[in-house]
Amino acid sequence: MYRFRWLPNLARFSSAILPTLALVFCWALASPALAADPIRVGFSMGLTGANGPNGKQLLIALEMWRDDVNAKGGLLGRPVELVYYDDQTQPANEPSIYTKLIDFDKVELLIGPYGTNQIAAVLPVLQSHKKTTIGMLGLAANAQAHYKNYFSMLSYGQNPAQEFSRGFFELAKAHKANLKTVAIVGVDAEFGKTSTDGARANAKAAGFTIVYDQLYPPNSADLGPTVRAIKATNPDIVFAASYPPDTVLFVRAASEIGLNPSIIGGTLIGMLATPLKRQMGPLMNGYINNAEVFIPVPTMSFPGTQEVLKKYSERAKGQQVDPFGFNFAPFGYATGQVLAAAVTETKSLDHEKLADYMRSHTFSTVVGDIAFGTDGEWVKPRSLVSQWQNLTGNDLSELTDLKKWVVVWPAEHKTGEFIYPYSAAKK
Protein backbone atom coordinates (compact mmCIF):
# COMPACT_ATOMS: atom_id res chain seq x y z
CA MET A 1 0.00 0.00 0.00
CA TYR A 2 1.26 3.48 -0.92
CA ARG A 3 2.05 5.76 2.06
CA PHE A 4 2.16 9.59 1.82
CA ARG A 5 5.63 10.08 3.25
CA TRP A 6 5.40 13.89 3.10
CA LEU A 7 2.65 14.09 5.75
CA PRO A 8 4.99 14.53 8.76
CA ASN A 9 6.22 17.79 7.19
CA LEU A 10 2.72 19.16 6.62
CA ALA A 11 2.63 21.31 9.74
CA ARG A 12 5.93 23.02 8.93
CA PHE A 13 4.74 23.57 5.31
CA SER A 14 1.40 24.96 6.49
CA SER A 15 2.90 27.48 8.90
CA ALA A 16 5.16 28.81 6.15
CA ILE A 17 2.87 28.94 3.18
CA LEU A 18 -0.75 29.15 4.30
CA PRO A 19 -0.68 32.86 5.23
CA THR A 20 0.55 33.67 1.74
CA LEU A 21 -2.06 31.43 0.13
CA ALA A 22 -4.75 33.14 2.17
CA LEU A 23 -3.70 36.53 0.85
CA VAL A 24 -3.73 35.24 -2.72
CA PHE A 25 -7.17 33.68 -2.21
CA CYS A 26 -8.61 36.93 -0.83
CA TRP A 27 -7.15 38.87 -3.75
CA ALA A 28 -8.70 36.41 -6.20
CA LEU A 29 -12.11 36.84 -4.58
CA ALA A 30 -11.82 40.60 -4.82
CA SER A 31 -10.85 40.52 -8.51
CA PRO A 32 -13.06 38.81 -11.15
CA ALA A 33 -9.99 37.89 -13.18
CA LEU A 34 -6.35 38.04 -12.26
CA ALA A 35 -4.37 40.37 -14.50
CA ALA A 36 -2.35 37.41 -15.74
CA ASP A 37 -5.37 35.23 -16.52
CA PRO A 38 -5.52 34.68 -20.29
CA ILE A 39 -8.52 35.35 -22.46
CA ARG A 40 -9.16 31.94 -23.99
CA VAL A 41 -10.21 31.92 -27.66
CA GLY A 42 -11.66 28.59 -28.76
CA PHE A 43 -12.08 27.04 -32.17
CA SER A 44 -11.82 23.86 -34.20
CA MET A 45 -9.62 23.46 -37.24
CA GLY A 46 -9.28 20.78 -39.89
CA LEU A 47 -5.65 19.80 -39.35
CA THR A 48 -6.12 16.33 -40.83
CA GLY A 49 -8.41 15.06 -43.55
CA ALA A 50 -9.35 16.99 -46.69
CA ASN A 51 -9.03 20.42 -45.05
CA GLY A 52 -5.63 19.66 -43.54
CA PRO A 53 -3.43 21.37 -46.16
CA ASN A 54 -5.32 24.62 -45.71
CA GLY A 55 -6.32 24.35 -42.05
CA LYS A 56 -2.66 24.25 -41.04
CA GLN A 57 -2.12 27.57 -42.80
CA LEU A 58 -5.00 29.16 -40.91
CA LEU A 59 -3.65 27.87 -37.60
CA ILE A 60 -0.25 29.46 -38.21
CA ALA A 61 -1.97 32.73 -39.08
CA LEU A 62 -4.02 32.67 -35.88
CA GLU A 63 -0.91 31.92 -33.83
CA MET A 64 0.77 34.90 -35.48
CA TRP A 65 -2.21 37.08 -34.56
CA ARG A 66 -2.15 35.85 -30.96
CA ASP A 67 1.55 36.63 -30.64
CA ASP A 68 1.16 40.08 -32.17
CA VAL A 69 -1.73 40.92 -29.84
CA ASN A 70 0.18 39.68 -26.80
CA ALA A 71 3.27 41.66 -27.79
CA LYS A 72 1.10 44.77 -27.60
CA GLY A 73 -0.29 43.97 -24.14
CA GLY A 74 -3.06 41.51 -24.98
CA LEU A 75 -6.79 42.26 -24.96
CA LEU A 76 -8.27 44.24 -22.08
CA GLY A 77 -4.87 43.97 -20.39
CA ARG A 78 -4.89 40.17 -20.51
CA PRO A 79 -2.89 37.79 -22.73
CA VAL A 80 -4.67 35.80 -25.42
CA GLU A 81 -4.55 32.00 -25.38
CA LEU A 82 -5.77 29.77 -28.22
CA VAL A 83 -7.68 26.60 -27.34
CA TYR A 84 -8.35 24.40 -30.35
CA TYR A 85 -9.07 20.86 -31.52
CA ASP A 86 -8.57 19.04 -34.81
CA ASP A 87 -12.01 18.37 -36.27
CA GLN A 88 -10.47 15.93 -38.79
CA THR A 89 -12.55 17.62 -41.51
CA GLN A 90 -15.60 15.80 -40.17
CA PRO A 91 -18.67 18.03 -39.75
CA ALA A 92 -20.12 15.54 -37.26
CA ASN A 93 -17.29 16.40 -34.86
CA GLU A 94 -18.16 20.10 -34.66
CA PRO A 95 -21.11 20.05 -32.21
CA SER A 96 -19.17 18.10 -29.58
CA ILE A 97 -16.02 20.19 -30.03
CA TYR A 98 -17.79 23.50 -29.57
CA THR A 99 -19.89 22.16 -26.72
CA LYS A 100 -16.66 21.16 -24.99
CA LEU A 101 -15.09 24.56 -25.69
CA ILE A 102 -18.10 26.36 -24.22
CA ASP A 103 -19.19 24.13 -21.34
CA PHE A 104 -15.95 22.49 -20.19
CA ASP A 105 -13.02 24.57 -21.42
CA LYS A 106 -14.97 27.73 -20.54
CA VAL A 107 -13.44 29.73 -23.38
CA GLU A 108 -14.48 33.36 -23.36
CA LEU A 109 -14.38 33.96 -27.11
CA LEU A 110 -15.00 31.81 -30.17
CA ILE A 111 -13.96 31.83 -33.80
CA GLY A 112 -14.32 29.31 -36.62
CA PRO A 113 -14.74 26.67 -37.69
CA TYR A 114 -13.03 26.62 -41.09
CA GLY A 115 -15.06 25.42 -44.05
CA THR A 116 -18.65 25.44 -45.24
CA ASN A 117 -19.62 21.96 -44.03
CA GLN A 118 -18.06 22.50 -40.62
CA ILE A 119 -19.66 25.90 -40.01
CA ALA A 120 -23.14 24.72 -41.03
CA ALA A 121 -22.81 21.79 -38.61
CA VAL A 122 -21.94 23.92 -35.59
CA LEU A 123 -24.38 26.81 -35.97
CA PRO A 124 -27.19 25.11 -33.96
CA VAL A 125 -24.82 24.72 -30.99
CA LEU A 126 -23.72 28.36 -31.17
CA GLN A 127 -27.31 29.50 -31.50
CA SER A 128 -28.48 27.51 -28.48
CA HIS A 129 -25.65 28.98 -26.39
CA LYS A 130 -26.11 32.49 -27.84
CA LYS A 131 -22.45 32.66 -28.81
CA THR A 132 -20.80 34.83 -31.44
CA THR A 133 -18.30 33.50 -33.96
CA ILE A 134 -16.46 34.45 -37.13
CA GLY A 135 -16.48 31.47 -39.49
CA MET A 136 -13.51 31.13 -41.82
CA LEU A 137 -13.94 30.66 -45.57
CA GLY A 138 -17.39 29.10 -45.43
CA LEU A 139 -19.59 29.51 -48.51
CA ALA A 140 -23.11 30.68 -47.60
CA ALA A 141 -22.79 28.57 -44.45
CA ASN A 142 -25.48 30.60 -42.65
CA ALA A 143 -27.94 30.68 -45.54
CA GLN A 144 -30.27 28.19 -43.85
CA ALA A 145 -29.83 28.93 -40.15
CA HIS A 146 -29.80 32.76 -40.49
CA TYR A 147 -28.09 32.97 -37.10
CA LYS A 148 -27.70 36.65 -36.23
CA ASN A 149 -24.44 36.30 -34.29
CA TYR A 150 -22.55 34.57 -37.08
CA PHE A 151 -20.07 36.51 -39.20
CA SER A 152 -18.28 35.33 -42.30
CA MET A 153 -14.61 35.71 -43.17
CA LEU A 154 -15.18 35.21 -46.88
CA SER A 155 -15.33 37.93 -49.51
CA TYR A 156 -18.31 36.90 -51.65
CA GLY A 157 -20.89 39.36 -50.37
CA GLN A 158 -24.51 38.91 -49.40
CA ASN A 159 -25.36 36.47 -52.20
CA PRO A 160 -22.27 34.27 -51.88
CA ALA A 161 -23.51 31.14 -53.62
CA GLN A 162 -24.00 32.93 -56.92
CA GLU A 163 -21.16 35.42 -56.47
CA PHE A 164 -18.76 32.49 -56.05
CA SER A 165 -19.08 31.44 -59.71
CA ARG A 166 -20.27 34.73 -61.24
CA GLY A 167 -16.85 35.54 -62.70
CA PHE A 168 -16.55 32.06 -64.23
CA PHE A 169 -19.77 32.55 -66.18
CA GLU A 170 -18.98 36.17 -67.03
CA LEU A 171 -15.94 34.85 -68.90
CA ALA A 172 -18.08 32.20 -70.57
CA LYS A 173 -20.69 34.77 -71.62
CA ALA A 174 -18.01 36.70 -73.49
CA HIS A 175 -17.80 33.69 -75.84
CA LYS A 176 -21.53 32.94 -75.88
CA ALA A 177 -21.65 32.68 -79.66
CA ASN A 178 -19.53 29.54 -79.54
CA LEU A 179 -20.73 28.01 -76.26
CA LYS A 180 -24.06 26.30 -75.66
CA THR A 181 -23.80 23.51 -73.10
CA VAL A 182 -22.54 23.15 -69.53
CA ALA A 183 -21.61 20.18 -67.33
CA ILE A 184 -21.77 20.80 -63.57
CA VAL A 185 -20.19 18.45 -61.04
CA GLY A 186 -19.34 18.71 -57.35
CA VAL A 187 -18.68 16.82 -54.16
CA ASP A 188 -21.84 15.66 -52.36
CA ALA A 189 -21.43 17.84 -49.27
CA GLU A 190 -22.62 21.26 -48.12
CA PHE A 191 -19.78 23.02 -49.93
CA GLY A 192 -20.28 21.13 -53.19
CA LYS A 193 -24.04 21.55 -53.14
CA THR A 194 -23.86 25.28 -52.48
CA SER A 195 -21.20 25.77 -55.16
CA THR A 196 -23.11 23.85 -57.80
CA ASP A 197 -26.40 25.51 -56.86
CA GLY A 198 -24.81 28.88 -57.56
CA ALA A 199 -23.21 27.64 -60.78
CA ARG A 200 -26.53 26.23 -61.96
CA ALA A 201 -28.28 29.56 -61.36
CA ASN A 202 -25.54 31.49 -63.17
CA ALA A 203 -25.50 29.06 -66.10
CA LYS A 204 -29.27 29.31 -66.57
CA ALA A 205 -29.22 33.09 -66.25
CA ALA A 206 -26.59 33.22 -69.00
CA GLY A 207 -28.74 31.06 -71.28
CA PHE A 208 -26.59 27.93 -71.32
CA THR A 209 -28.10 24.44 -71.52
CA ILE A 210 -27.08 22.10 -68.69
CA VAL A 211 -26.32 18.63 -70.06
CA TYR A 212 -24.77 17.08 -66.94
CA ASP A 213 -25.50 17.95 -63.30
CA GLN A 214 -24.34 15.46 -60.68
CA LEU A 215 -22.65 15.18 -57.29
CA TYR A 216 -20.01 12.56 -56.51
CA PRO A 217 -19.53 10.89 -53.09
CA PRO A 218 -17.11 12.48 -50.59
CA ASN A 219 -13.79 10.69 -50.14
CA SER A 220 -13.94 9.25 -53.64
CA ALA A 221 -10.69 7.51 -54.55
CA ASP A 222 -11.28 7.61 -58.30
CA LEU A 223 -13.08 10.30 -60.31
CA GLY A 224 -12.46 8.56 -63.62
CA PRO A 225 -16.06 7.29 -63.95
CA THR A 226 -17.38 10.79 -63.22
CA VAL A 227 -15.12 12.36 -65.84
CA ARG A 228 -16.09 9.73 -68.44
CA ALA A 229 -19.76 10.46 -67.79
CA ILE A 230 -19.11 14.17 -68.30
CA LYS A 231 -17.16 13.56 -71.51
CA ALA A 232 -20.04 11.49 -72.89
CA THR A 233 -22.25 14.60 -72.87
CA ASN A 234 -19.67 16.57 -74.92
CA PRO A 235 -20.13 19.84 -73.00
CA ASP A 236 -18.71 23.17 -74.13
CA ILE A 237 -18.11 24.20 -70.50
CA VAL A 238 -17.19 22.10 -67.47
CA PHE A 239 -17.69 23.53 -63.98
CA ALA A 240 -16.41 21.48 -61.02
CA ALA A 241 -16.53 22.08 -57.26
CA SER A 242 -13.98 19.98 -55.42
CA TYR A 243 -12.23 19.49 -52.09
CA PRO A 244 -8.41 19.78 -52.09
CA PRO A 245 -7.54 16.09 -52.74
CA ASP A 246 -10.44 15.74 -55.19
CA THR A 247 -9.07 18.54 -57.35
CA VAL A 248 -5.95 16.49 -58.04
CA LEU A 249 -8.05 13.41 -58.87
CA PHE A 250 -10.29 15.39 -61.19
CA VAL A 251 -7.48 17.15 -63.08
CA ARG A 252 -5.53 13.94 -63.57
CA ALA A 253 -8.61 12.00 -64.69
CA ALA A 254 -9.57 14.77 -67.13
CA SER A 255 -6.08 14.64 -68.66
CA GLU A 256 -5.97 10.85 -68.92
CA ILE A 257 -9.48 10.55 -70.36
CA GLY A 258 -9.06 13.48 -72.74
CA LEU A 259 -11.78 15.81 -71.47
CA ASN A 260 -11.48 18.80 -73.79
CA PRO A 261 -14.22 21.42 -73.41
CA SER A 262 -13.76 25.03 -74.48
CA ILE A 263 -13.75 26.19 -70.85
CA ILE A 264 -12.87 24.10 -67.80
CA GLY A 265 -12.48 24.96 -64.12
CA GLY A 266 -14.68 25.97 -61.21
CA THR A 267 -14.31 26.13 -57.44
CA LEU A 268 -11.15 24.05 -57.28
CA ILE A 269 -10.01 24.30 -53.67
CA GLY A 270 -7.03 22.04 -54.33
CA MET A 271 -5.54 24.72 -56.56
CA LEU A 272 -5.16 26.93 -53.49
CA ALA A 273 -2.66 24.62 -51.76
CA THR A 274 0.94 24.75 -53.00
CA PRO A 275 1.76 21.06 -52.29
CA LEU A 276 -1.22 20.03 -54.42
CA LYS A 277 -0.33 22.51 -57.16
CA ARG A 278 3.09 20.87 -57.33
CA GLN A 279 1.42 17.49 -57.86
CA MET A 280 -0.58 18.83 -60.81
CA GLY A 281 1.95 21.21 -62.35
CA PRO A 282 1.41 21.74 -66.11
CA LEU A 283 -1.85 19.75 -65.97
CA MET A 284 -3.36 22.95 -64.55
CA ASN A 285 -2.68 24.91 -67.74
CA GLY A 286 -5.90 26.41 -69.07
CA TYR A 287 -7.94 25.76 -65.93
CA ILE A 288 -9.79 28.73 -64.50
CA ASN A 289 -10.48 28.90 -60.79
CA ASN A 290 -13.05 31.07 -59.07
CA ALA A 291 -12.11 29.83 -55.58
CA GLU A 292 -9.26 32.31 -55.12
CA VAL A 293 -9.84 34.91 -52.42
CA PHE A 294 -6.32 36.34 -52.35
CA ILE A 295 -3.62 36.55 -55.00
CA PRO A 296 -0.50 38.65 -54.29
CA VAL A 297 -1.16 41.28 -56.96
CA PRO A 298 -0.75 45.03 -56.24
CA THR A 299 -4.49 45.64 -55.95
CA MET A 300 -4.74 43.07 -53.15
CA SER A 301 -2.11 44.66 -50.92
CA PHE A 302 -3.64 46.34 -47.87
CA PRO A 303 -2.03 47.73 -44.70
CA GLY A 304 -0.17 44.86 -43.06
CA THR A 305 -0.73 42.28 -45.82
CA GLN A 306 2.89 41.95 -46.87
CA GLU A 307 4.08 41.77 -43.27
CA VAL A 308 1.69 38.91 -42.55
CA LEU A 309 2.77 36.97 -45.63
CA LYS A 310 6.45 37.49 -44.81
CA LYS A 311 6.00 36.40 -41.21
CA TYR A 312 3.93 33.42 -42.31
CA SER A 313 6.61 32.21 -44.72
CA GLU A 314 9.17 32.35 -41.91
CA ARG A 315 6.96 30.37 -39.53
CA ALA A 316 6.01 27.81 -42.15
CA LYS A 317 9.59 26.66 -42.61
CA GLY A 318 10.08 23.11 -41.41
CA GLN A 319 6.38 22.57 -40.63
CA GLN A 320 5.54 20.61 -43.79
CA VAL A 321 2.88 23.14 -44.68
CA ASP A 322 2.22 25.44 -47.62
CA PRO A 323 5.26 27.78 -47.68
CA PHE A 324 3.39 30.88 -48.90
CA GLY A 325 -0.02 31.01 -47.23
CA PHE A 326 -1.75 32.75 -50.12
CA ASN A 327 -5.56 32.72 -49.80
CA PHE A 328 -5.49 31.43 -46.22
CA ALA A 329 -2.99 33.23 -43.98
CA PRO A 330 -4.39 36.73 -44.63
CA PHE A 331 -7.96 35.60 -43.95
CA GLY A 332 -6.99 33.73 -40.79
CA TYR A 333 -5.14 36.77 -39.48
CA ALA A 334 -8.02 39.08 -40.43
CA THR A 335 -10.40 36.89 -38.40
CA GLY A 336 -8.36 37.66 -35.32
CA GLN A 337 -8.20 41.34 -36.22
CA VAL A 338 -11.99 41.65 -36.35
CA LEU A 339 -12.40 39.87 -33.03
CA ALA A 340 -9.71 41.99 -31.35
CA ALA A 341 -11.20 45.23 -32.64
CA ALA A 342 -14.66 44.33 -31.37
CA VAL A 343 -13.33 43.40 -27.91
CA THR A 344 -11.17 46.51 -27.69
CA GLU A 345 -13.84 48.95 -28.79
CA THR A 346 -16.63 47.48 -26.64
CA LYS A 347 -14.25 46.81 -23.72
CA SER A 348 -16.25 43.63 -23.29
CA LEU A 349 -16.26 39.87 -23.72
CA ASP A 350 -20.06 39.76 -23.81
CA HIS A 351 -21.08 37.93 -26.98
CA GLU A 352 -24.20 39.99 -27.64
CA LYS A 353 -22.27 43.25 -27.34
CA LEU A 354 -19.56 41.93 -29.63
CA ALA A 355 -22.12 40.86 -32.24
CA ASP A 356 -23.92 44.21 -32.08
CA TYR A 357 -20.62 45.98 -32.66
CA MET A 358 -19.64 43.72 -35.58
CA ARG A 359 -22.99 44.32 -37.27
CA SER A 360 -22.65 48.10 -37.10
CA HIS A 361 -18.99 48.87 -37.81
CA THR A 362 -16.39 48.58 -40.55
CA PHE A 363 -13.11 46.82 -39.80
CA SER A 364 -9.73 47.60 -41.31
CA THR A 365 -7.85 44.32 -41.87
CA VAL A 366 -5.04 42.79 -43.88
CA VAL A 367 -7.63 41.66 -46.46
CA GLY A 368 -9.17 45.13 -46.75
CA ASP A 369 -12.07 46.93 -45.13
CA ILE A 370 -14.90 44.66 -44.03
CA ALA A 371 -18.50 45.48 -43.14
CA PHE A 372 -20.98 42.69 -42.38
CA GLY A 373 -24.52 42.49 -43.74
CA THR A 374 -27.20 39.84 -44.27
CA ASP A 375 -26.43 36.50 -42.60
CA GLY A 376 -23.11 37.95 -41.48
CA GLU A 377 -21.74 38.06 -45.04
CA TRP A 378 -19.64 40.93 -46.38
CA VAL A 379 -21.67 43.92 -47.55
CA LYS A 380 -19.41 44.51 -50.54
CA PRO A 381 -18.50 41.40 -52.55
CA ARG A 382 -15.03 40.79 -53.94
CA SER A 383 -14.29 37.77 -56.09
CA LEU A 384 -11.44 36.71 -58.35
CA VAL A 385 -10.98 34.32 -61.25
CA SER A 386 -7.51 33.08 -62.14
CA GLN A 387 -6.14 30.97 -64.97
CA TRP A 388 -2.96 28.90 -65.04
CA GLN A 389 -0.96 29.61 -68.18
CA ASN A 390 2.29 28.31 -69.70
CA LEU A 391 3.43 26.14 -66.80
CA THR A 392 6.28 23.89 -67.89
CA GLY A 393 7.12 22.18 -64.61
CA ASN A 394 6.32 21.83 -60.91
CA ASP A 395 8.89 24.27 -59.55
CA LEU A 396 7.81 26.70 -56.83
CA SER A 397 9.14 29.62 -58.86
CA GLU A 398 6.62 28.83 -61.59
CA LEU A 399 3.72 28.34 -59.17
CA THR A 400 4.26 31.84 -57.73
CA ASP A 401 4.97 33.54 -61.07
CA LEU A 402 2.14 36.01 -61.64
CA LYS A 403 2.72 35.72 -65.40
CA LYS A 404 1.62 32.10 -65.12
CA TRP A 405 -0.88 32.52 -62.25
CA VAL A 406 -2.99 35.12 -64.01
CA VAL A 407 -5.99 37.06 -62.72
CA VAL A 408 -8.38 37.18 -65.68
CA TRP A 409 -11.43 38.66 -63.92
CA PRO A 410 -12.60 41.22 -62.73
CA ALA A 411 -11.15 44.19 -64.59
CA GLU A 412 -9.95 46.01 -61.46
CA HIS A 413 -7.69 43.11 -60.46
CA LYS A 414 -6.89 41.74 -63.92
CA THR A 415 -3.23 40.96 -64.64
CA GLY A 416 -3.50 39.20 -68.02
CA GLU A 417 -5.77 37.95 -70.77
CA PHE A 418 -7.96 34.87 -70.59
CA ILE A 419 -6.64 32.21 -72.96
CA TYR A 420 -9.58 30.68 -74.85
CA PRO A 421 -10.34 27.94 -75.72
CA TYR A 422 -8.90 25.45 -73.23
CA SER A 423 -7.12 23.60 -76.03
CA ALA A 424 -5.07 26.74 -76.76
CA ALA A 425 -3.89 26.93 -73.14
CA LYS A 426 -3.21 23.32 -72.20
CA LYS A 427 0.21 21.92 -72.95
Residue 1 banded pLDDT, cuts 50, 70, 90: very low
Distance, in Å, from the CA atom of 49 to the CA atom of 310, rounded to the nearest integer, reads 27
Within a domain: residue 21? no
**Percentage of the residues of the chain whose pLDDT score is greater than 70:** 91
Domain that residue 269 falls in: 160-292+389-425
Helix (H) or strand (E) holding 313: helix 305-316
Q: What is the pLDDT of residue 23?
A: 38
At 165-224, the pLDDT tens digits run 999 999 999 999 999 999 999 999 999 999 999 999 999 999 999 999 999 999 899 999
The answer on 281 and 192 residing in a single domain is yes
Distance, in Å, from the CA atom of 232 to the CA atom of 258, rounded to the nearest integer, reads 11
**Domains contained in the chain, number:** 2
- Report the predicted TM-score, pTM, of the whole model to 2 decimal places: 0.88
Q: Provide mean pLDDT across the span 25-36.
A: 45
CATH number of the CATH domain containing 250:
3.40.50.2300
The answer on 337 and 229 residing in a single domain is no
CB 87 within 8 A of CB 112: no
Q: What is the pLDDT of residue 35?
A: 55
Alpha helix (H) ranges present in 211-273? 224-232, 244-257
Within a domain: residue 249? yes
Please tell me whether residue 205 adopts helix, strand or coil conformation. helix
**Percentage of the residues of the chain whose pLDDT score is greater than 90:** 89
At 154-180, the pLDDT tens digits run 999 999 999 999 999 999 999 999 999
For the cut 80, the answer to whether the pLDDT of residue 401 exceeds it is yes
The answer on 275 and 182 residing in a single domain is yes
The answer on 115 and 191 residing in a single domain is no
Spell 207-231 as b/e; 16+ CB within 10 A means b: ebebbbbebbeeebeebbebbeebb
The answer on 341 and 288 residing in a single domain is no
pLDDT averaged over the chain? Answer: 92
Distance, in Å, from the CA atom of 115 to the CA atom of 347, rounded to the nearest integer, reads 30
Write the single-letter amino acid at 123.
L
CB 356 within 8 A of CB 367: no
The answer on 335 and 189 residing in a single domain is no
For the cut 80, the answer to whether the pLDDT of residue 6 exceeds it is no
CB 31 within 8 A of CB 24: no
The answer on 189 and 151 residing in a single domain is no
Distance, in Å, from the CA atom of 336 to the CA atom of 270, rounded to the nearest integer, reads 25
